[in-house]
Structure 1
Amino acid sequence: MMKRRRFLCLTAAFATAPALAHAGTWRGRALGAEASVTLTGPRSAVDRALTALPKRLEQIEAAFSLYRADSALVQLNTRGRLRPSSDFHALMTLAAQAHDLTDGLFDPTVQPLWHALARGTDIEAARRLIGFDRVRIAPDVITLGRGQALTLNGIAQGYATDLIKDDLARQGFTKALVDMGEAAALGGPFRLTLNDPQHGALGHVTLENAARATSSPGALRLGAEAHILGPRGQEPLWSTVSLEGPSATLADALSTAAVFMDHPALRQLKIRAGLSSITTIDADGALRTL
């Protein structure tokens, strides 16, 4: 009982004694993106949490990276079946939720199409392999349809962001900004810049106890194609879409699909997914927030 009382007292002191607070930042890479964690708290706790980050990110990379031959994702793509970890199963369940919320516009089975475009192979044959409805997700096994492969690039960065944020919250931190390609805030407010690859910085947004994800199809191209691929051959409607919600994972996935959705569809998505806001930037740099 004494230990628990002391823990509660320390937690309360942590939250209410800003004079003792220390701000620290870790910077590196995660899942192919620039990453950072900015954290406020007692110096020893901040240093310990930031020192532990590379090991935690190594675990995340080992599950979801497309670029590691030994990752769980590459094993699934190679064999067509995987006994998933609890994290892998949770991410796949959220991917299925995003697929449903976007009427199939978010579809991780576009990976063969990505390969075909990058390598100059049969594009139409690759398109016939697309269909997340053919993926079977269960706690004990995930099974792909024949010839299918997944990319989790449109959701894994958000999931990594949520994992790190939740880790920090469990350690007692109440002020942190986690950016693993998508951003999530514990406490705040934090000021973020809204950038577009064509038009640069177009303003700022404030993030507090929420998550924000941004997708810009033109940030990378595969020949003439934007790097965000429509599962049914759709072309992006927006230069950038940025949205805010409670989960970085869903924000990441939904922003990926949102580049193909007009404003009426985005309004419906905002309601269905419980999002706080959706901002679009068109090819001329015009910005609109729903």
Structure 2
Amino acid sequence: MPSYDLSRARFRLSDEHVFVLITVATGEPVPDEFHAAQEELRACGLIDGNGQLAHVLLPLIDTLIAPTVVISLEAVGRQGQLNHGLLIGQDHVISHQAWPGTSEAEYASVEPKMLVWALANMVNLQQSGPGGGAVHADALVETRLGTVEAGLAALEGVSAAEAPGSERSHVHEALAQDPALGEAQATLLAALIAELRSSWRMTAAWRGREEGQDGVAARGFAVWDCGPLGYWHRELPAEPLAAGQVGPDSAVRLVRVAPKKVWDLIAELMPEEAELRHV
């Protein structure tokens, strides 16, 4: 069921609820298959008996309908994939954050000056602790995508009944099938995969110009959060990636970076005013 918190202007909504709200706001008829979602919005008071949207929804709806910049965050961990993000409009900024095992996400207003902080919070960026230590010059892994996928598959195949710490040996065994990797790199990559909390990719998109033509401009980056082993910037394959752009033989390069570098990468996603094409 959808719900909302008036004190903080935040909402819990599924994709179906968002579709209904936009449809109602733009004066279009709600398709039959979304009537259940529409009734749930009525039941919680976000749509009144006359079919009008509650006033508290206006900043959210205005931003959903006409965002200037869309920032998407795709995070993959042991609980599956979660999709978060930010919508930057002319007058408001709205964040949305998913929760494992539910179909609803939390939508909330964000103070524009806190954009980078909000995105850093979505990825649980930590400035202190074991993962925030010194970065060594040799903190680098270079291999193929197929090798990385073999290591991740080995991690998923480890039974909960096996001895604690057995993940690393299983992953190392899978990685060793690639003789080009080398023992030192296999050992390091096995440790990273065994400690992997989440891998995430963040992409910003906006109306701009590409190669002299009007279109959608984008930039992004990807990071592995390996807990006590720190943050690793996935430099290759470079983001943003299109579907079908990579395969098993695609190069992978992981470089350990300090939390401050991750913060800077987030800040650098934001387009300058001159990059935006206003319609």
Normalised-by-shorter TM-score class: under 0.3
Structure whose residues are more often helix by fraction: 1
Structure whose residues are more often strand by fraction: 2
TM normalised by structure 1 equals 0.25
